[in-house]
Amino acid sequence: MPPIRKKDPLKSAQIEGKIELAISDLKNGRIRSIREAARIYTIPRTTLQDRLNGIIQEHFDRVQAAISKYGILPEDIYNFDETGFTIGLYATIKPLNLYSNWTRTPPPSQSSNI
């Protein structure tokens, strides 16, 4: 059984705050490059770059579209980042894959590691 990892909400909020400050400084011209902002705020360059390019927002827009299209209820959303949405009873599962039309390579399935 894999270890259970607990996320520290305070640390997550601090990281998110650093990302927001870095984005603000980049947009206001106080910092000239993404690499420099990542170094100053000690955050991953790729995280900052993805956030600036709208990659994160694109994912949540796709999730919201699937929720609206299929009428998914909040109680049907459980660990969907690994399994997709499950609609209906546990005996009759219909998973939805949000990555089917994505031009990038989807995240690797963890089921192959079992």
Encode pLDDT of 74-92 as tens digits. Answer: 777 766 666 666 666 555 5
pTM of the entire predicted model: 0.51
| Mean pLDDT of the 63-76 span | 84
> Amino acid identity, residue 106?
P
Top-confidence residue, 84 or 58:
58
Lowest mean pLDDT among 3-7, 37-41, 49-53, 103-107: 103-107
